[in-house]
Structure 1
Amino acid sequence: MKNFSSLFLLQRCLRWSFSLGLIGLAVACSPSDPFSGPSSLNSRYTDEQPALSGNGRYLAFVSNRGGDRNILLYDLQLQQLISLPRLNRRDAITENPSISYTGRYIVYLTSEQGRLMLVLYDRVTRQPQILNQWYQGWVRNPSISPDGRFVVFESSSRGQWDIEVLDRGPNVELDLPDSPVPGSSSTVSP
Protein backbone atom coordinates (compact mmCIF):
# COMPACT_ATOMS: atom_id res chain seq x y z
CA MET A 1 0.00 0.00 0.00
CA LYS A 2 2.86 2.35 0.86
CA ASN A 3 4.47 1.68 -2.51
CA PHE A 4 1.21 2.47 -4.34
CA SER A 5 0.78 5.88 -2.63
CA SER A 6 4.42 6.83 -3.35
CA LEU A 7 3.90 6.00 -7.03
CA PHE A 8 0.66 7.99 -7.08
CA LEU A 9 2.40 10.99 -5.45
CA LEU A 10 5.29 10.79 -7.93
CA GLN A 11 2.89 10.76 -10.91
CA ARG A 12 1.05 13.79 -9.53
CA CYS A 13 4.32 15.71 -9.06
CA LEU A 14 5.41 14.86 -12.61
CA ARG A 15 2.10 16.03 -14.07
CA TRP A 16 2.29 19.25 -12.06
CA SER A 17 5.88 19.90 -13.18
CA PHE A 18 5.00 19.18 -16.80
CA SER A 19 2.03 21.56 -16.67
CA LEU A 20 4.13 24.35 -15.15
CA GLY A 21 6.80 23.78 -17.79
CA LEU A 22 4.24 24.13 -20.59
CA ILE A 23 2.85 27.32 -19.08
CA GLY A 24 6.36 28.78 -18.80
CA LEU A 25 7.12 27.84 -22.40
CA ALA A 26 3.89 29.45 -23.63
CA VAL A 27 4.64 32.68 -21.77
CA ALA A 28 8.23 32.80 -23.02
CA CYS A 29 7.19 32.30 -26.65
CA SER A 30 4.24 34.66 -26.71
CA PRO A 31 4.67 37.89 -28.71
CA SER A 32 5.19 41.05 -26.76
CA ASP A 33 4.61 44.72 -27.37
CA PRO A 34 7.79 46.24 -28.88
CA PHE A 35 7.33 49.29 -26.63
CA SER A 36 7.18 47.30 -23.38
CA GLY A 37 10.30 46.68 -21.40
CA PRO A 38 13.63 48.35 -22.05
CA SER A 39 13.78 50.28 -25.30
CA SER A 40 17.37 49.50 -26.10
CA LEU A 41 18.46 49.51 -29.70
CA ASN A 42 19.29 45.81 -29.79
CA SER A 43 17.07 43.19 -28.25
CA ARG A 44 16.77 39.43 -27.93
CA TYR A 45 14.70 39.53 -31.13
CA THR A 46 15.92 39.84 -34.70
CA ASP A 47 16.68 43.49 -35.54
CA GLU A 48 17.87 44.06 -39.11
CA GLN A 49 17.89 46.26 -42.25
CA PRO A 50 18.93 49.53 -40.55
CA ALA A 51 18.44 52.91 -42.25
CA LEU A 52 19.84 56.10 -40.72
CA SER A 53 18.25 59.54 -41.16
CA GLY A 54 20.37 62.23 -42.81
CA ASN A 55 20.73 64.17 -39.56
CA GLY A 56 21.90 61.02 -37.78
CA ARG A 57 19.21 61.15 -35.12
CA TYR A 58 16.77 58.43 -36.20
CA LEU A 59 17.29 54.81 -37.08
CA ALA A 60 14.55 52.85 -38.86
CA PHE A 61 14.88 49.07 -38.87
CA VAL A 62 12.91 45.85 -39.22
CA SER A 63 12.30 43.84 -36.05
CA ASN A 64 10.20 40.90 -34.91
CA ARG A 65 9.86 42.27 -31.34
CA GLY A 66 6.07 42.29 -31.51
CA GLY A 67 5.81 38.79 -32.99
CA ASP A 68 5.50 40.17 -36.54
CA ARG A 69 8.05 41.77 -38.88
CA ASN A 70 7.53 45.47 -38.21
CA ILE A 71 9.40 48.67 -38.89
CA LEU A 72 10.52 50.40 -35.72
CA LEU A 73 11.98 53.88 -35.36
CA TYR A 74 14.61 54.55 -32.72
CA ASP A 75 15.63 58.03 -31.57
CA LEU A 76 19.39 57.79 -31.00
CA GLN A 77 19.47 61.09 -29.10
CA LEU A 78 16.69 60.22 -26.63
CA GLN A 79 17.53 56.48 -26.75
CA GLN A 80 13.94 55.35 -27.12
CA LEU A 81 11.55 53.91 -29.66
CA ILE A 82 9.18 56.29 -31.46
CA SER A 83 5.56 55.35 -32.05
CA LEU A 84 4.53 54.93 -35.71
CA PRO A 85 0.71 54.79 -35.70
CA ARG A 86 -0.84 53.10 -38.77
CA LEU A 87 2.52 52.04 -40.24
CA ASN A 88 2.65 48.40 -39.16
CA ARG A 89 -0.21 45.98 -39.70
CA ARG A 90 -0.58 42.51 -38.25
CA ASP A 91 -1.51 40.94 -41.59
CA ALA A 92 1.45 42.41 -43.51
CA ILE A 93 5.22 41.89 -43.66
CA THR A 94 7.40 45.00 -43.88
CA GLU A 95 10.91 45.22 -45.35
CA ASN A 96 13.63 47.61 -46.56
CA PRO A 97 12.97 50.92 -44.77
CA SER A 98 14.56 54.12 -46.05
CA ILE A 99 14.26 57.38 -44.14
CA SER A 100 14.42 61.09 -45.03
CA TYR A 101 16.67 63.73 -43.44
CA THR A 102 14.83 64.38 -40.15
CA GLY A 103 12.84 61.15 -40.21
CA ARG A 104 9.58 62.67 -41.41
CA TYR A 105 9.20 60.27 -44.33
CA ILE A 106 9.80 56.53 -44.30
CA VAL A 107 9.62 54.50 -47.51
CA TYR A 108 9.36 50.73 -47.25
CA LEU A 109 8.04 47.58 -48.88
CA THR A 110 5.12 45.66 -47.50
CA SER A 111 3.62 42.37 -48.57
CA GLU A 112 -0.08 41.98 -48.08
CA GLN A 113 -1.91 38.90 -49.39
CA GLY A 114 1.04 38.11 -51.68
CA ARG A 115 1.12 41.55 -53.31
CA LEU A 116 4.28 43.57 -52.80
CA MET A 117 3.66 47.30 -52.31
CA LEU A 118 5.92 50.32 -52.08
CA VAL A 119 4.62 52.58 -49.30
CA LEU A 120 5.49 56.06 -48.07
CA TYR A 121 4.71 56.88 -44.43
CA ASP A 122 4.50 60.50 -43.27
CA ARG A 123 5.16 60.86 -39.53
CA VAL A 124 3.40 64.23 -39.40
CA THR A 125 0.11 63.10 -40.94
CA ARG A 126 0.57 59.52 -39.64
CA GLN A 127 -0.70 58.18 -42.96
CA PRO A 128 0.78 55.50 -45.22
CA GLN A 129 0.44 56.01 -48.99
CA ILE A 130 0.88 53.27 -51.62
CA LEU A 131 3.26 54.53 -54.31
CA ASN A 132 3.39 51.69 -56.84
CA GLN A 133 -0.30 51.24 -57.58
CA TRP A 134 0.27 52.20 -61.24
CA TYR A 135 3.33 49.98 -61.76
CA GLN A 136 3.05 46.52 -63.24
CA GLY A 137 5.45 43.91 -61.92
CA TRP A 138 7.55 43.66 -58.79
CA VAL A 139 9.43 46.35 -56.88
CA ARG A 140 12.44 46.12 -54.58
CA ASN A 141 15.15 48.15 -52.79
CA PRO A 142 13.39 51.50 -52.24
CA SER A 143 15.25 54.61 -51.16
CA ILE A 144 13.99 58.12 -50.43
CA SER A 145 15.90 61.34 -51.07
CA PRO A 146 16.94 63.28 -47.96
CA ASP A 147 14.34 65.99 -48.67
CA GLY A 148 11.57 63.40 -49.23
CA ARG A 149 10.64 64.52 -52.75
CA PHE A 150 12.11 61.62 -54.75
CA VAL A 151 11.76 57.87 -54.26
CA VAL A 152 13.92 55.46 -56.24
CA PHE A 153 13.41 51.73 -56.49
CA GLU A 154 13.93 48.77 -58.76
CA SER A 155 11.02 47.65 -60.92
CA SER A 156 10.47 44.60 -63.12
CA SER A 157 7.78 46.28 -65.22
CA ARG A 158 9.73 45.76 -68.48
CA GLY A 159 10.64 42.14 -67.80
CA GLN A 160 14.02 43.02 -66.30
CA TRP A 161 15.15 44.95 -63.25
CA ASP A 162 15.22 48.68 -64.03
CA ILE A 163 15.68 51.71 -61.81
CA GLU A 164 12.62 53.93 -61.45
CA VAL A 165 12.65 57.48 -60.09
CA LEU A 166 9.36 58.72 -58.66
CA ASP A 167 9.04 62.49 -58.29
CA ARG A 168 6.42 63.25 -55.65
CA GLY A 169 6.04 66.74 -57.13
CA PRO A 170 7.07 70.32 -56.41
CA ASN A 171 4.25 70.85 -53.90
CA VAL A 172 5.31 68.15 -51.44
CA GLU A 173 6.42 69.38 -48.01
CA LEU A 174 10.16 68.87 -48.04
CA ASP A 175 12.12 67.41 -45.13
CA LEU A 176 14.91 69.98 -44.91
CA PRO A 177 17.84 70.17 -42.45
CA ASP A 178 16.39 73.23 -40.70
CA SER A 179 12.92 71.67 -40.39
CA PRO A 180 11.72 71.03 -36.85
CA VAL A 181 12.01 67.41 -35.80
CA PRO A 182 8.66 65.84 -36.68
CA GLY A 183 6.77 64.00 -34.00
CA SER A 184 9.24 64.85 -31.25
CA SER A 185 6.28 65.32 -28.91
CA SER A 186 4.86 61.93 -29.94
CA THR A 187 7.68 59.83 -28.56
CA VAL A 188 6.72 56.75 -26.65
CA SER A 189 8.50 56.16 -23.42
CA PRO A 190 8.46 52.56 -22.29
Structure 2
Amino acid sequence: MRKFLIKWWLQHWIFLCLCLGLLVFVMACSPSDRLMSSPGSLNSRYTDEQPALSGNGRYVAFISNRDSSRNLFLYDLQEQVFLPIPRLQNRPDAIAQSPSLSYTGRYIVCIVSDRGKLDLVLYDRVTQHPQVLNQWYQGWVRNPNISPDGRYIVFESSVHGQWDIEVLDRGSSVELDIPDGVPISQ
Protein backbone atom coordinates (compact mmCIF):
# COMPACT_ATOMS: atom_id res chain seq x y z
CA MET A 1 0.00 0.00 0.00
CA ARG A 2 2.84 2.39 0.85
CA LYS A 3 4.41 1.74 -2.57
CA PHE A 4 1.10 2.59 -4.24
CA LEU A 5 0.78 5.88 -2.31
CA ILE A 6 4.33 6.91 -3.18
CA LYS A 7 3.70 6.14 -6.87
CA TRP A 8 0.37 8.02 -6.83
CA TRP A 9 1.94 11.02 -5.05
CA LEU A 10 4.90 11.05 -7.47
CA GLN A 11 2.61 10.97 -10.54
CA HIS A 12 0.48 13.83 -9.23
CA TRP A 13 3.57 15.82 -8.23
CA ILE A 14 4.99 15.48 -11.77
CA PHE A 15 1.63 16.46 -13.27
CA LEU A 16 1.42 19.51 -10.99
CA CYS A 17 4.99 20.56 -11.89
CA LEU A 18 4.22 20.23 -15.60
CA CYS A 19 1.07 22.35 -15.23
CA LEU A 20 2.91 25.03 -13.26
CA GLY A 21 5.75 25.01 -15.80
CA LEU A 22 3.27 25.45 -18.65
CA LEU A 23 1.55 28.30 -16.79
CA VAL A 24 4.88 30.06 -16.21
CA PHE A 25 5.78 29.58 -19.90
CA VAL A 26 2.46 31.04 -21.09
CA MET A 27 2.76 34.02 -18.75
CA ALA A 28 6.34 34.68 -19.86
CA CYS A 29 5.34 34.65 -23.52
CA SER A 30 2.26 36.82 -23.15
CA PRO A 31 2.67 40.44 -24.26
CA SER A 32 1.53 41.86 -20.93
CA ASP A 33 3.48 45.11 -21.26
CA ARG A 34 1.99 46.29 -24.54
CA LEU A 35 -1.27 47.60 -23.15
CA MET A 36 -2.78 50.03 -25.61
CA SER A 37 -4.75 53.02 -24.35
CA SER A 38 -3.85 52.26 -20.75
CA PRO A 39 -0.97 53.24 -18.51
CA GLY A 40 2.27 51.71 -19.60
CA SER A 41 5.92 52.34 -19.69
CA LEU A 42 8.00 53.44 -22.58
CA ASN A 43 10.79 50.93 -22.11
CA SER A 44 10.22 47.20 -22.01
CA ARG A 45 12.09 43.94 -22.18
CA TYR A 46 11.71 44.13 -25.96
CA THR A 47 13.86 46.01 -28.43
CA ASP A 48 12.65 49.62 -28.65
CA GLU A 49 14.47 51.76 -31.24
CA GLN A 50 14.34 54.62 -33.77
CA PRO A 51 12.54 57.15 -31.53
CA ALA A 52 10.98 60.29 -33.00
CA LEU A 53 9.66 63.14 -30.85
CA SER A 54 6.81 65.43 -31.86
CA GLY A 55 7.66 69.13 -32.06
CA ASN A 56 5.62 69.95 -28.97
CA GLY A 57 7.41 67.21 -27.02
CA ARG A 58 4.25 65.30 -26.13
CA TYR A 59 4.45 62.19 -28.34
CA VAL A 60 7.14 59.64 -29.08
CA ALA A 61 6.87 57.30 -32.04
CA PHE A 62 9.23 54.35 -32.10
CA ILE A 63 9.77 50.90 -33.54
CA SER A 64 9.52 47.86 -31.28
CA ASN A 65 9.27 44.10 -31.56
CA ARG A 66 6.66 43.91 -28.77
CA ASP A 67 4.27 42.02 -31.06
CA SER A 68 6.93 39.58 -32.33
CA SER A 69 7.39 41.76 -35.42
CA ARG A 70 8.74 45.26 -35.98
CA ASN A 71 5.83 47.64 -35.54
CA LEU A 72 5.34 51.33 -34.97
CA PHE A 73 4.14 52.45 -31.54
CA LEU A 74 2.95 55.88 -30.43
CA TYR A 75 3.32 56.90 -26.79
CA ASP A 76 1.78 59.95 -25.10
CA LEU A 77 4.42 61.24 -22.66
CA GLN A 78 1.93 63.50 -20.87
CA GLU A 79 -0.73 60.86 -20.21
CA GLN A 80 1.80 57.97 -20.12
CA VAL A 81 -0.29 55.73 -22.38
CA PHE A 82 0.16 54.02 -25.70
CA LEU A 83 -2.14 55.34 -28.41
CA PRO A 84 -3.74 53.15 -31.06
CA ILE A 85 -2.75 53.71 -34.68
CA PRO A 86 -5.58 51.96 -36.56
CA ARG A 87 -4.91 50.81 -40.13
CA LEU A 88 -1.17 51.48 -39.75
CA GLN A 89 -0.10 49.44 -36.77
CA ASN A 90 0.28 45.68 -36.75
CA ARG A 91 -0.37 45.05 -40.43
CA PRO A 92 0.38 41.40 -41.24
CA ASP A 93 3.66 40.85 -43.09
CA ALA A 94 4.57 44.56 -42.77
CA ILE A 95 7.62 45.97 -41.01
CA ALA A 96 7.73 49.66 -40.06
CA GLN A 97 10.87 51.77 -39.68
CA SER A 98 12.13 55.38 -39.52
CA PRO A 99 9.13 57.22 -38.02
CA SER A 100 8.85 61.02 -38.00
CA LEU A 101 6.15 63.18 -36.36
CA SER A 102 4.68 66.57 -37.16
CA TYR A 103 4.46 69.26 -34.47
CA THR A 104 1.44 67.94 -32.53
CA GLY A 105 1.83 64.36 -33.73
CA ARG A 106 -1.16 64.56 -36.06
CA TYR A 107 0.90 63.32 -39.01
CA ILE A 108 3.24 60.36 -38.88
CA VAL A 109 5.49 59.48 -41.78
CA CYS A 110 7.45 56.22 -41.89
CA ILE A 111 8.77 53.51 -44.16
CA VAL A 112 6.70 50.32 -44.28
CA SER A 113 8.18 47.21 -45.83
CA ASP A 114 5.40 44.97 -47.06
CA ARG A 115 6.71 41.73 -48.56
CA GLY A 116 10.02 43.37 -49.48
CA LYS A 117 8.55 46.49 -51.11
CA LEU A 118 9.43 49.72 -49.28
CA ASP A 119 6.62 52.27 -49.10
CA LEU A 120 6.80 55.82 -47.81
CA VAL A 121 3.59 56.08 -45.78
CA LEU A 122 1.91 59.19 -44.37
CA TYR A 123 -0.62 58.57 -41.61
CA ASP A 124 -3.15 61.16 -40.46
CA ARG A 125 -4.23 60.46 -36.88
CA VAL A 126 -7.39 62.56 -37.32
CA THR A 127 -8.73 60.66 -40.33
CA GLN A 128 -6.93 57.40 -39.36
CA HIS A 129 -5.98 56.98 -43.00
CA PRO A 130 -2.55 55.79 -44.21
CA GLN A 131 -1.45 57.04 -47.63
CA VAL A 132 1.40 55.59 -49.73
CA LEU A 133 3.39 58.52 -51.12
CA ASN A 134 6.00 56.87 -53.33
CA GLN A 135 3.92 54.83 -55.77
CA TRP A 136 5.36 56.84 -58.69
CA TYR A 137 9.02 56.38 -57.62
CA GLN A 138 11.06 53.66 -59.31
CA GLY A 139 13.82 53.55 -56.69
CA TRP A 140 14.12 52.81 -53.00
CA VAL A 141 13.25 55.30 -50.25
CA ARG A 142 14.65 55.72 -46.74
CA ASN A 143 14.97 58.11 -43.77
CA PRO A 144 11.80 60.23 -44.11
CA ASN A 145 11.23 63.37 -42.08
CA ILE A 146 8.07 65.49 -41.95
CA SER A 147 8.01 69.26 -41.41
CA PRO A 148 6.43 70.52 -38.17
CA ASP A 149 3.31 71.74 -40.01
CA GLY A 150 2.97 68.48 -41.98
CA ARG A 151 3.16 70.06 -45.43
CA TYR A 152 6.64 68.94 -46.50
CA ILE A 153 8.28 65.54 -46.36
CA VAL A 154 11.95 64.99 -47.09
CA PHE A 155 13.49 61.58 -47.68
CA GLU A 156 16.31 59.83 -49.45
CA SER A 157 15.59 58.25 -52.82
CA SER A 158 17.64 56.07 -55.14
CA VAL A 159 15.54 56.92 -58.21
CA HIS A 160 18.61 58.31 -60.06
CA GLY A 161 20.89 55.38 -59.21
CA GLN A 162 22.38 57.06 -56.13
CA TRP A 163 21.00 58.36 -52.86
CA ASP A 164 19.51 61.82 -53.39
CA ILE A 165 17.39 64.08 -51.20
CA GLU A 166 13.80 64.47 -52.33
CA VAL A 167 11.37 67.09 -51.02
CA LEU A 168 7.67 66.33 -51.33
CA ASP A 169 5.32 69.31 -51.06
CA ARG A 170 1.87 68.05 -50.11
CA GLY A 171 0.36 71.30 -51.41
CA SER A 172 -1.11 74.48 -50.08
CA SER A 173 -4.56 72.95 -49.62
CA VAL A 174 -3.41 70.33 -47.10
CA GLU A 175 -4.71 70.76 -43.56
CA LEU A 176 -1.65 71.87 -41.59
CA ASP A 177 -0.68 70.57 -38.18
CA ILE A 178 -0.61 73.78 -36.20
CA PRO A 179 -1.24 74.13 -32.47
CA ASP A 180 -4.51 75.84 -31.58
CA GLY A 181 -4.91 77.18 -35.12
CA VAL A 182 -1.84 79.40 -34.76
CA PRO A 183 0.98 78.99 -37.29
CA ILE A 184 4.36 78.03 -35.86
CA SER A 185 6.65 81.07 -35.73
CA GLN A 186 9.46 80.92 -38.25
TM band (smaller chain) = 0.7 to 0.9
Higher mean alpha-carbon deviation, 103-112 vs 89-98, is at 89-98
Asked if 1:15 is matched to 2:15, the reply is yes
Are the equivalent residues in 1 in contact too, given 2:37–2:82 (CA < 8 A)? Answer: no
SS for the counterpart of 1:20 is: helix
Task: In structure 1, list runs of 5 or more residues that go unmatched.
Answer: 181-190
* Inter-partner Cα distance in structure 2 for 1:54 and 1:143: 12
| Structure 2 residue 130 is the aligned partner of structure 1 residue 128 | yes
Query: Distance in 1 between the 2:163 and 2:154 partners?
Result: 13
Alignment of 1:41-80 (within 5 A): 41-80=42-81
2-structure distance, mates of 1:81, 1:57: 12
Identity of aligned residues (%): 64
Output the TM-score relative to the length of structure 2: 0.85
Aligned equivalents of 1:179, 1:47: Cα separation in 2: 33
Structure 2 stretches lacking a partner, 5+ long? none
Normalised by the length of structure 1, the TM-score is 0.83
Q: What displacement does 1:63 show? A: 2.3
Matches within 5 A, 1:36-185: 38-91=39-92, 92-179=94-181
Q: Which amino acid aligns with 1:18?
A: L
Q: Letter of the aligned partner of 2:177 in structure 1? A: D
11-20 or 84-93: which moved more?
11-20
Superposed CA offset, 1:129-155 (max 9, x none): 001111112211111111111111111
Aligned length: 180
Q: 1:36 to 1:3 in 2, by over 3 A?
A: farther
